[in-house]
């Protein structure tokens, strides 16, 4: 990372004395201003801080700016990240929800709502989210569902605890939907654990599996492709991974009898490899999804002849 | 003295009245809105016709309501709404016919003093009735019940214009506070040298559009800027756009408004993260820009940390802009139908001047001037300017009606 020029630093100080602290991470004055605005707004308006005197508040903000300047993610400083209509709590050692994930989850939510209007038999769904982290995907999906079973699973106990906290944190928004939302600690590479997880859904088969596995390769994590802030502060367990996860999800999909699967990916290669595997299966179709900034972001596959063919709507035509 | 004057005008009025058979056609041909209280103010003919139509409709509805077996809330609310107009109009009619009786009393010298007294109170009551009826019978603005969004942008004048834009924002915030209306600054782009380059203020009170609608246009300021070293007076401008708020701010509405557009009609862009995105980046990239392709309108929003919220707000503003364009088109169309030329109320020219040297605010559309600039700029006495514009607008609408009639 290149050094901030004294000239830019001086210019930033004229705008706001706290801006130079933020520059090493944010690089430009407008970006730094934007984050400083959020830091000020959220730290001074939070319930615990609003009663403090202005001197203490200023110290809190100054320390937050210093930490942010060293690369600590804004979401860990403020403790939250908006995800659709929800506010998701963020803690160190659990991956921060990304806007790309928010975007495809919102698309799925739209498809589910459309499908519900068409077919009254599908008003209750069984959805499983693996590598759930903060629990953002199942929680957001449950805002559009009623009387459904929505389970999340993660290998790390801290993540499971945090997702349960998030369920409590958003209970006001979710209280009228009458969904059964639960979080489990599961290692998805252990077939016995996965079987017991699936059996907790009861006799009926799964509708949808959502999946946001770690997908950054080792050489990518230590290259300029990945932000230093991600490398230094977010858990490696939630970042480092590759094709073994997509192979395993195919295995789980067949084992559980799920009708459709959607997985977030890091690059086009992962999409192509996964789709090549799906093509070998009988009765399955697949598609790729690109996010708003044009990056390949997810791969979806579904059983032919089910309602989930609707997933094709969100996939790019190729 | 005053009494005799009153008597004379009353005689005048009744003389005219006797010439024309119907006071309706008489009042229609008269200048209607004189400011002098001594003259009798009649309701213009077209409005009388409209009132009569409403009376008919009211009677019909009343019959319907009494015949119907079940209670219909829609009909009953309409009845209540029309009822107040009908009552006012009936009162007005009886007052006007009383004038006729009074006229006969004038011929009797013993009753003349009493008649004059009577005339005076009658003139007063007719005036209040006509005012009430006028505001009710004139076609209402289609967005008059909506909440509104104000967009402020500096015009010519560099950083002075940006500072003035900020002053205007404070004025509107002050005005909203004065009226106890909830408001929030949706988007604000400060300029590093002072002032603002863009601000969007959302006033979330239903009906606030009615008050703020006259603010749309170019505002001019004449003052010695803080940045001026030689003491010269500068003239700068700022533009204000007033948009109606359609629907609420809630998430369901946001989704619905997104679905309203055909696929491909709206192009959504997010701030493009460099490189791979996804798990590789944890920067908050919540800025959203939407482009409405048929009209070329671009709305960008980056105030909130939530992309979802930014998108919802951007769609809300796009909706409002399109609705406003639609309204302006309709107004232009109606204007073009009129044969007589009308002084422009469009946004083509400056609408108001704030002269700091003379401490004066002048609205160029209605010619209203006020010498309490400071109190106007805090929003405390902006109401007076707005009221002057309301009156002006009403007069203009009536002129339009009269032209249609003749």
> Using CB atoms, which residue from A42, A226, A292 is nearest to B280?
A226
Asked whether the beta carbons of B398 and B44 are under 8 A apart, the reply is yes
A280 burial type by CB count under 10 A (0-12 exposed, 13-18 middle, 19+ buried): exposed
For chain A, positions 10-39, list CB contacts with chain B under 8 A. Answer: 14-15, 34-35, 38
| Shared domain check, A163 and A24 | no
CA distance B153 to B140: 29
Split at pLDDT 50, 70, 90, the class of B333 is confident
| Shared domain check, A96 and A37 | no
Report whether pLDDT(B49) > 90: no
Q: DSSP letter string over B81-123?
A: HHHHHHHHHHHHHHHHHHHHHHHHHHTSTTTHHHHHHHHHHHH
List the Cα angle A152/A103/A41 in 5-degree steps: 95
Chain B residue set in contact with A, beta carbons under 8 Å: 192, 251, 255, 268-273, 275-286, 302, 304-309
What pLDDT shows up at residue B244?
87
CA distance B179 to B173: 10
ipTM computed for the complex: 0.88
List the one residue out of A263, A260, A251, A250 whose CA is nearest residue A285. Answer: A260
The verdict on a CB contact (< 8 Å) between A225 and B268 is no
CB atoms within 10 A of CB A226: 21
Residue A268 forms part of a structural domain:
yes
pLDDT tens readout for residues B55-80: 888 888 888 777 766 667 777 777 87
| Shared domain check, A298 and A194 | yes
Number of compact structural domains in chain A:
2
Q: Nearest CA to CA, how far is B173 from chain A (Å)? A: 19
| Shared domain check, A113 and A23 | no
Asked whether the beta carbons of B319 and B257 are under 8 A apart, the reply is yes
CATH code where residue A185 lies: 3.40.50.150
CA distance A184 to A163: 10
Domain boundary among A46, A71, A96: A71
CA distance A203 to A190: 21
Mark the ranges of chain A whose per-residue pLDDT is less than 70. Answer: 1, 116-123, 317-318
Structure token digits, residue A289: 């999804």
Structure token digits, residue B94: 């009886």
pLDDT tens readout for residues A213-256: 999 999 999 988 888 899 999 999 999 999 999 999 999 999 99
Which residue has 């706290």 as its token pair?
Answer: A18
> Using CB atoms, which residue from A85, A96, A292 is nearest to B308?
A85
Residue B270: list chain A partners with CB under 8 A.
99, 292-293
Q: Nearest CA to CA, how far is A199 from chain B (Å)? A: 31
The verdict on a CB contact (< 8 Å) between A96 and B251 is no
Residue B192: list chain A partners with CB under 8 A.
14-15
Report whether pLDDT(B209) > 50: yes
Shortest CA distance from B268: residue in chain A:
A292
Which residue has 């969904």 as its token pair?
Answer: A179
| Shared domain check, A260 and A184 | yes
Residue A77 forms part of a structural domain:
no
User: Which CATH topology does B251-273+285-335 take?
Assistant: Double Stranded RNA Binding Domain (3.30.160)
The verdict on a CB contact (< 8 Å) between B192 and A264 is no
Which residue has 């006259």 as its token pair?
Answer: B214
Bridging pattern class, strands B148-154 and B234-244: antiparallel
| Shared domain check, A208 and A65 | no
Split at pLDDT 50, 70, 90, the class of B3 is very low
DSSP tag of A281: S
What pLDDT shows up at residue A131?
95
| Shared domain check, A119 and A28 | no
Contacts of A167 (CB under 8 A, 6+ apart): A135, A139, A174, A181, A183
Highest mean pLDDT among A89-98, A220-229, B94-103, B118-127: A89-98
Instruction: Give the CATH number of domain B148-245+348-405.
Output: 3.30.70.1660
Residue B273: list chain A partners with CB under 8 A.
293
| Shared domain check, A292 and A181 | yes
What pLDDT shows up at residue B188?
86
Structure token digits, residue B122: 């009658």
> Using CB atoms, which residue from B268, B278, B282 is nearest to A73?
B282
What pLDDT shows up at residue B406?
57
The H or E element containing residue B328 is helix B307-337
Asked whether the beta carbons of B11 and B106 are under 8 A apart, the reply is yes
The verdict on a CB contact (< 8 Å) between B283 and A227 is yes
The H or E element containing residue B389 is helix B382-405
Domain ranges of chain B: 2-137, 148-245+348-405, 251-273+285-335
| Shared domain check, A63 and A23 | yes
For chain B, the average pLDDT equals: 78
What pLDDT shows up at residue B23?
40
DSSP bridge pairs for A290? A296
What pLDDT shows up at residue B27?
41
| Shared domain check, A202 and A109 | yes
**Residue range B293-311: mean pLDDT, rounded:** 89
A160-169, B27-36, B351-360, range with the lowest pLDDT: B27-36
C-alpha pair distances (Å), B43 with each of B101, B139, B391: 19, 15, 16
**Residue range B258-278: mean pLDDT, rounded:** 77
Residues spanned by the domain of A104: 82-313
What pLDDT shows up at residue A240?
94
Contacts of B72 (CB under 8 A, 6+ apart): B65
Task: Identify how many contiguous H helices and E strands chain B contains and give both numbers.
Answer: 11, 11
Residue A240 forms part of a structural domain:
yes
What pLDDT shows up at residue A184?
96
Structure token digits, residue B148: 């509104």
| Shared domain check, A162 and A34 | no
Report whether pLDDT(B28) > 60: no
CA distance B215 to A33: 31
Positive/negative CA dihedral, B117, B123, B126, B132:
negative
Report whether pLDDT(B347) > 60: no
| Shared domain check, A231 and A173 | yes
């Amino acid at each position: 990372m290149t050094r901030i020029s004294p000239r830019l630093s001086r210019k930033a100080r004229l705008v706001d004395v706290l801006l130079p602290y933020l520059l090493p991470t944010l690089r430009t004055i407008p970006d730094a201003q934007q984050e400083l605005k959020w830091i000020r707004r959220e730290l001074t308006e939070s319930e615990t801080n609003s009663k403090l005197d202005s001197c203490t508040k200023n110290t809190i903000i100054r320390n937050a700016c210093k930490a942010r300047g060293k690369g600590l993610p804004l979401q860990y400083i403020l403790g939250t990240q908006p995800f659709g209509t929800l506010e998701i709590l963020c803690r160190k050692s659990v991956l921060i929800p990304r806007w790309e994930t928010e975007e495809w989850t919102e698309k799925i939510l739209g498809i589910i709502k459309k499908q519900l209007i068409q077919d009254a038999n599908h008003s209750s769904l069984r959805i499983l989210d693996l590598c759930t982290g903060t629990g953002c995907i199942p929680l957001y999906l449950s805002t559009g569902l009623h009387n459904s079973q929505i389970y999340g699973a993660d290998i790390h106990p801290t993540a499971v605890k945090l997702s349960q906290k998030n369920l409590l944190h958003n209970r006001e928004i979710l209280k009228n939907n009458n969904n059964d939302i639960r979080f489990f600690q599961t290692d998805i590479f252990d077939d016995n654990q996965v079987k017991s997880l699936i059996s907790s859904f009861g006799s009926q088969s799964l509708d949808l599996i959502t999946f946001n596995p770690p997908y950054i390769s080792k050489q990518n994590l230590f290259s300029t492709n990945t932000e230093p802030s991600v490398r230094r502060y977010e858990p490696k367990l939630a970042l480092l991974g590759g094709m073994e996860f997509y192979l395993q999800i195919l295995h789980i999909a067949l084992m559980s009898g799920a009708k459709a699967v959607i997985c977030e990916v890091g690059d086009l290669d992962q999409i192509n490899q996964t789709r090549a595997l799906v093509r070998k299966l009988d009765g399955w179709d697949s598609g790729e999804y690109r996010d708003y900034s044009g990056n390949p972001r997810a791969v979806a596959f579904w059983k032919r002849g089910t309602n989930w063919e609707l997933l094709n709507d969100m996939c790019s035509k190729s | 003295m005053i009494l005799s004057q009153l008597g004379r005008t009353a005689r005048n009025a009744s003389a005219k009245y006797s010439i024309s058979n119907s006071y309706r056609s008489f009042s229609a041909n008269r200048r209607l809105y004189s400011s002098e209280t001594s003259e009798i103010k009649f309701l213009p003919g077209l409005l009388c016709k409209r009132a009569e139509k409403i009376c008919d409709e009211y009677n019909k509805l009343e019959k319907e309501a009494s015949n119907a077996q079940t209670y219909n809330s829609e009909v009953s609310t309409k009845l209540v709404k029309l009822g107040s107009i009908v009552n006012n109009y009936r009162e007005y009619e009886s007052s006007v016919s009383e004038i006729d009786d009074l006229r006969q009393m004038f011929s009797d010298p013993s009753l003349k003093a009493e008649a004059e007294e009577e005339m005076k109170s009658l003139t007063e009551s007719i005036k209040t009735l006509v005012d009430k009826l006028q505001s009710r019978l004139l076609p209402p603005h289609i967005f008059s019940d909506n909440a509104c969004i104000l967009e402020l942008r500096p015009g010519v004048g560099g950083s002075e214009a940006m500072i003035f834009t900020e002053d205007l924002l404070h004025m509107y915030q002050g005005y909203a506070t004065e009226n106890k209306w909830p408001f929030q600054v949706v988007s604000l782009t400060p300029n590093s040298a002072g002032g603002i380059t863009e601000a969007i203020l959302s006033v979330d009170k239903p009906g606030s559009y009615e008050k703020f609608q006259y603010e749309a246009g170019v505002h001019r300021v004449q003052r010695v800027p803080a940045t001026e070293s030689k003491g010269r007076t500068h003239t700068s401008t700022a533009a204000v756009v007033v948009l109606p708020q359609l629907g609420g701010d809630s998430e369901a509405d946001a989704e619905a408004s997104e679905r309203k557009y055909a696929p491909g009609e709206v192009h959504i862009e997010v701030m493009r993260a460099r490189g791979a995105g996804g798990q590789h980046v944890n920067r908050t990239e919540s800025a959203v820009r939407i482009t409405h392709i048929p009209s070329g309108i671009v709305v960008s929003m980056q105030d909130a940390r939530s992309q979802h919220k930014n998108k919802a707000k951007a769609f809300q503003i796009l909706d409002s802009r399109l609705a406003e364009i639609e309204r302006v088109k309709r107004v232009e169309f109606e204007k073009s139908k009129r044969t007589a030329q009308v002084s422009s109320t469009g946004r083509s020219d400056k609408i108001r001047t704030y002269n700091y040297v003379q401490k004066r605010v002048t609205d160029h559309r209605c010619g209203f001037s006020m010498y309490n600039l400071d109190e106007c700029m805090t929003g405390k006495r902006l109401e007076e300017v707005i009221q002057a514009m309301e009156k002006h607008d009403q007069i203009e609408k009536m002129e339009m009606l009269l032209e249609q009639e003749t």
